[in-house]
C-alpha cells in the first residue's frame, strides 16, 4: 500500500473488500457495542466510542493520505481542535497565526484561556513571534478567510530550534492532503474539518487529526475515547465516499477558482483579491513550493464597502449564501457577519466588506455570469 500513488490511496487505503460478505464499500457498522465471547475476548472492538470498524476504515485512509502514522476521526473539526488543546496544561502557552477560522479563535479565547492557557496571535511566523516558549504552534495555511500562506517547513525548522520543542499543528482543511502534506514538511499533527473538501458534498460534519508519531497518537487516542467527541459510522462512511473523488474535485475546484480570481482581478468593483494561485499574488512562489495548486477558495474586498458587499452576496443565485465550504456546489458568505463573527472587535477582526467564495464544480461560464449579475445588482 505504501507505494501506491495518492489517487489510488484515496480509493483503496483502509478499504479492502469486507472479509465476511465481499462488500466493496466498507459496511456502515451501525452498532454501539460488540459481543465478547468471554470477558475481554473479542474481535478487536468493544464499544463504538472506543472504536468502530467504519471509523477505522476512515482513519486508516486519512493516515495514508497525509503520510501519517495514525489518524483519529472526530465528530467535527472543532472536536478535533478540542482534543489537541487538551494535550496542554494550565500555564502552557499557544502561539497561533492571527488569521484563522473564527471557531478556532473562539475556542482559544473563550474556552481554553479560562483554563489558564496563554495565547498569543502572530501575523508573521516565525518572524513576529513574541515569545520563544510556546508548547503548541497553531498554523492554518491557506488561512480562513484571507488565504494567507505560512511556510510550514520554515516554521517547523524554527520550532526545532526552541527548547523544549513545541508541537506544531497545521489545520489543513483548506488545502487537503491532495494539495499539501504538512507532516512531510515537519509538522507533528494535521487537523481537518472533514465537513469541507474531504466530505466534499455538504452532507456531513466531521473532523480528524493525523499524527506522525506513535506516542502522540496514543495520547490523542486516549483523549478521543475519554472525551468522546467521535463521529457515527454513517458519517464516517460519507467522508470515506467523498474522499474517493478528492483528487478529481480538487483539480476542478482550483481550475474554476483560478478563472473566478482572474475575472475578479479585472473588475473595478474589487478593491483587493486573495487567491494563492494568481500569478500576481505576492505568495505565488511559496504556493508553488508548498501546494499542488491554489485550491478552491477565493476572497475579495468589495470596493463599495460593507453595504455593497451585503447586496452582492444576496444577489447571487448559483453561489448559495451559506456558511461552510468545500462542497461541489459554490457558496458565498461575508466572514465578518457569518463564519468569523466571533472575531468582531478583536485584533483578528476581518474587513466587513470581505466576501469569501467557495468555488464549486459548476460550469465556469455559469459561475462567472452569476458573479457578473451580482456586481450589476450591487453597483
Ligand atoms: C479552517 C477550519 N478549521 C476548522 C473548522 C471547524 O470545523 P467544523 O465546522 O467541522 O467543526 C472550520 C470550519 O469552518 C474551518 O474552516
Nearest atom in ligand 1 to 80's CA:
11
Q: Is there a catalytic annotation at residue 49? A: yes
Contact 326, 197 (CB under 8 A): yes
pTM comes to 0.97
Which of 193, 208, 242, 296 has the most ligand 1 atoms within 8 A of CB, as the residue to mutate?
193
**341: CB partners within 8 A, 6+ apart:** 102
At 107 the pLDDT is: 97
235 within ligand 1 shell (Cβ under 6 A): no
Residue of 82, 99, 171, 235 with catalytic role: 171
Grid cell at residue 203: 452532507
**151: CB partners within 8 A, 6+ apart:** 286, 290
- What is the distance between the alpha carbons of residues 15 and 123, in angstroms, rounded to a whole number? 41
Nearest atom in ligand 1 to 140's CA:
1
CA dihedral angle for residue 14, residue 18, residue 245, residue 334, rounded to 10 degrees: -80
Q: Is there a catalytic annotation at residue 171? A: yes
Q: Is there a catalytic annotation at residue 288? A: no
Q: What is the mean pLDDT of each run of 10 residues along the chain (379 residues)?
A: 90 94 96 97 97 98 98 98 97 94 94 94 83 90 96 96 95 98 98 98 98 98 98 98 98 98 97 96 96 98 97 98 97 95 86 98 98 95
At 1 the pLDDT is: 63
Report the nearest-CA residue for atom 6 of ligand 1: 77
Amino acid at each position: 500500500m505504501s507505494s501506491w500513488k495518492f489517487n489510488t490511496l484515496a480509493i483503496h487505503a483502509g478499504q479492502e473488500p469486507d472479509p465476511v460478505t465481499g462488500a466493496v464499500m466498507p459496511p456502515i457498522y451501525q452498532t454501539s457495542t460488540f459481543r465478547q465471547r468471554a470477558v475481554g475476548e473479542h474481535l478487536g472492538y468493544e464499544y463504538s466510542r472506543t472504536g468502530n470498524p467504519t471509523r477505522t476504515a476512515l482513519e486508516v485512509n486519512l493516515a495514508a493520505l497525509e503520510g501519517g502514522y495514525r489518524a483519529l476521526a472526530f465528530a467535527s473539526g472543532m472536536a478535533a481542535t478540542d482534543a489537541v488543546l487538551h494535550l496542554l496544561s494550565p500555564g502552557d502557552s499557544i502561539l497561533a497565526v492571527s488569521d484563522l477560522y473564527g471557531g478556532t479563535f473562539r475556542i482559544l479565547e473563550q474556552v481554553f484561556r479560562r483554563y489558564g492557557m496563554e495565547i498569543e496571535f502572530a501575523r508573521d511566523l516565525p518572524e513576529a513571534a513574541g515569545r520563544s516558549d510556546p508548547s503548541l504552534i497553531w498554523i492554518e495555511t491557506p488561512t480562513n478567510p484571507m488565504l494567507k500562506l505560512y511556510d510550514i517547513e520554515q516554521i517547523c525548522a524554527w520550532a526545532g530550534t526552541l527548547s523544549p520543542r513545541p508541537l506544531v499543528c497545521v489545520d489543513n482543511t483548506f488545502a487537503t492532503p491532495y494539495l499539501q502534506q504538512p507532516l512531510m514538511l515537519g509538522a507533528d499533527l494535521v487537523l481537518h474539518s472533514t465537513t469541507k473538501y474531504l466530505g466534499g458534498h455538504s452532507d456531513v460534519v466531521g473532523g480528524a487529526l493525523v499524527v506522525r508519531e506513535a506516542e502522540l497518537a496514543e495520547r490523542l487516542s486516549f483523549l478521543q475515547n475519554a472525551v468522546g467527541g467521535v463521529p457515527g459510522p454513517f458519517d464516517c462512511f460519507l467522508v470515506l465516499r467523498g474522499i474517493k473523488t478528492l483528487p478529481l474535485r480538487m483539480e476542478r475546484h482550483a481550475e474554476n477558482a483560478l478563472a473566478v480570481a482572474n475575472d475578479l482581478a479585472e473588475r473595478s468593483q474589487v478593491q483587493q483579491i486573495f487567491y494563492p494561485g494568481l500569478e500576481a499574488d505576492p505568495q505565488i512562489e511559496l504556493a508553488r513550493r508548498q501546494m499542488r495548486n491554489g485550491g478552491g477558495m477565493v476572497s475579495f474586498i468589495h470596493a463599495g464597502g460593507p453595504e455593497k458587499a451585503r447586496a452582492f452576496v444576496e444577489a447571487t443565485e448559483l453561489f448559495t449564501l451559506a456558511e461552510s465550504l468545500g462542497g461541489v456546489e459554490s457558496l458565498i458568505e461575508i466572514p465578518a457577519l457569518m463564519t468569523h463573527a466571533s472575531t468582531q472587535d478583536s485584533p483578528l477582526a476581518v474587513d466587513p466588506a470581505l466576501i469569501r467564495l467557495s468555488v464549486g464544480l459548476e460550469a465556469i461560464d455559469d459561475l462567472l455570469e452569476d458573479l457578473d449579475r451580482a456586481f450589476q445588482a450591487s453597483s
